[in-house]
Structure 1
Amino acid sequence: METKNSEQFPKGFPKQHQNRQPGKESEMKPEPIYELEGYNDLGKKLLDKVAIITGGDSGIGRAVAIAFAKEGAKIVLVHLKENDDANKTREIIEKKGAECILLNGDIGSEEFCKQIVKTTIDKYKTIDILINNSGEQHEQKNLEDITTEQIRKTFNTNFFGAFFLTREAMPHLKQGASIINTTSVVAYRGSKTLIDYSCTKGALTTFTRSLAINLADKGIRVNAVAPGPIWTPLIVSSFDETKVSQFGSDTPLKRAGQPVEIAQAYVFLASRDSSYITGETIHVNGGDMVNC
């Protein structure tokens, strides 16, 4: 496995676009970096923990799933329809000697969320970690161009899916369990062309803070990770080829982040190393200062 330092991560990308969300990682040029020597090689902090990860087939979700597997967790990987990406992620995880099951469906469906929890409990009898990571976004230049269908669909995937799945999982979460939501830098600074997406991430941020207070007495921690520009299939399936080629260049570090560079934040929040942290957000955004 090749070792890379930060100077070796790519700055700028070839022009490209995919017409369907959430996009295929295997068709990206270059493919996102989801694993590197020296990243998340710390031990077995999550040994025998059962982790549900939505949007786990590619991008941030894939990197988190692999990082968790290396820490000894059993992975329940939830994805929409990109079966090739999901199968590749499972293959990587199993080669590391970890367990992984795939569940395919629409996270915005209450019934599917119930199925995720039932399948997990039937197989593993417990849920220790819940990662609400599924997401979609659709650019619109004007507010009046955001249709009712679009905003409902975006909220279903980005917020209601997290709400439904967390609600269904609650009866099975015990003291020491960890819930981690993937929010976004745009929840804090907004976005000119991703208005509804930013709203969903703002909702996830306040959900994180409120639920953390609600569950503190039960010993269940709730935190979030707020990515900046990270090189994932969602990017090439959301933006035109010119924006893709410039993606991340406006950060202080002058490049997009790679999934492997954010995965360790989830490991930290899921492990006992963060036992005194709840209701907080870790910002992994290349130096983009935000008001928290």
Structure 2
Amino acid sequence: MFFSLENKIAVVTGGQQGVGFAVCKRFSEAGATVIMAGRNSDGKGEEAAKAINATFIKTDVSVEGQVQSLLKDTYDRYGRIDILVNNAAVILPESDIQDLDTEKAKKLFDTNFFGYFNGIKYAVEYMPNGSSIINISSNAGVQAFPGYSAYNASKGAINSLTKTVALELADRNIRVNAICPGSIDTPMLYLPGCENELKMAHYCWPLGRPCKPEEVAALAHFLACDDCQFITGEDIQIDGGYSAGIGRLGLKRWIGEAE
């Protein structure tokens, strides 16, 4: 069967909601055994996992030891890890760099960069040749957006890490790729301080809307499966055409000719 994930063991961080949940659901439906990692400790993580036939392991990826335990626990249960999706991320409200709290920026990097760094570092020894690592990054790591210096920098660092590790693991045919979405229709998009990002999705994305989590999951599915053996070291933008330019719909909305 094309794009089957039968008999694959997949670990997805930040899997309780948004993109992470969409990836977990898609992978489970494609036949994978899914480990959903998340910080939630009030039972909602377990409920989310049960709903899609996944297994929940409480994990704060900003803590190196918890990432290490997540991956060791998965290996002890299943004997290997075939797919790792680094997805857990945080964002700070819009702020120019001179007003940004340095300690908050460091904490953001603990999740957005070191969570991915440690995920790869500790997963590789448990991954057979031919496995797949997928980093959920952002087009903010390719094109800068004012007011988000720490977030932009963390995503740019992920893209650089992706390329470096892809080269390091190429002799084992372990593929390492980054997905770089534009604005995604998740709760993070509606946090206070993200109002300008919503405006950008309306006016700047040529397709005129945010990306759906399921659309990111579809690309992750393709990159995870054995049918996709010759793509590695890529940061793939999925941004409704924004990287190509501003579309006609956005221009019409800007001048009031479209809803």
Instruction: Flag whether TM exceeds 0.5 (same fold).
Output: yes
Partner of 1:12: none
**How high is the sequence identity, in percent, across the aligned residues?**
33
Distance of aligned partners of 1:290 and 1:164 in 2 relative to their CA distance in 1, 3 Å threshold:
farther
Structure 2 counterpart SS, 1:137: coil
Amino acid at match of 1:52: V
Structure 1 consecutive aligned stretches of length 4 or more whose deviation exceeds 4 Å: 82-85, 242-245
1:285 paired to 2:244 = no
Question: Of 224, 241, 249, which residue of structure 1 is paired with 2:202?
Answer: 249
Give the distance between the partners of 2:27 and 2:131, measured in 1 at CA.
15
**1:266-285 equivalences in 2 (<5 Å):** 266-285=220-239
Partner of 2:257: none
Structure with more contact order per residue of length (Cα contacts < 8 Å, sep ≥ 6): 1
CA contact (8 A) 1:66 1:89 kept: no
> Number of residues paired by the alignment?
244
Partner of 2:50: 91
Partner of 1:104: 58
- Of stretches 85-94 and 258-267 in structure 1, the one that deviates more from structure 2 is 85-94
Partner of 1:196: 150
Per the TM alignment, residue 248 of structure 1 is displaced from its structure 2 partner at its CA by 1.6
Amino acid at match of 2:32: A
Partner of 1:35: none
Partner of 1:54: 13
Partner of 2:254: none
1:126 paired to 2:80 = yes
Structure 2 counterpart SS, 1:53: strand
State the TM-score, normalizing by the size of structure 2. 0.88
Tell me the alpha carbon deviations over residues 106-155 of structure 1, each in whole angstroms, 9 at most, x when there is no partner.
Answer: 10111101110121011111100000001001024321111121111110
Distance of aligned partners of 1:170 and 1:224 in 2 relative to their CA distance in 1, 3 Å threshold:
same
Partner of 2:40: 81
Amino acid at match of 2:26: A
Distance of aligned partners of 1:62 and 1:93 in 2 relative to their CA distance in 1, 3 Å threshold:
same
Partner of 2:134: 180
- Of stretches 230-239 and 276-285 in structure 1, the one that deviates more from structure 2 is 230-239
Amino acid at match of 2:18: G
Give the distance between the partners of 1:50 and 1:247, measured in 2 at CA.
37
Amino acid at match of 2:33: K
Give the distance between the partners of 2:16 and 2:169, measured in 1 at CA.
29
Partner of 1:117: 71
Partner of 1:209: 163
Structure 1 counterpart SS, 2:233: coil
CA contact (8 A) 1:189 1:290 kept: no
Give the distance between the partners of 2:116 and 2:227, measured in 1 at CA.
24
Per the TM alignment, residue 43 of structure 1 is displaced from its structure 2 partner at its CA by 6.1
Amino acid at match of 1:47: E
Which one has a larger percent helix, Structure 1 or Structure 2? 2
Structure 2: segments with no counterpart, 5+ residues: 246-259
Per the TM alignment, residue 165 of structure 1 is displaced from its structure 2 partner at its CA by 1.6
Per the TM alignment, residue 174 of structure 1 is displaced from its structure 2 partner at its CA by 1.4
Give the distance between the partners of 1:268 and 1:44, measured in 2 at CA.
7
CA contact (8 A) 1:265 1:282 kept: no
1:167 paired to 2:126 = no
Give the distance between the partners of 1:81 and 1:65, measured in 2 at CA.
16
Partner of 1:221: 175
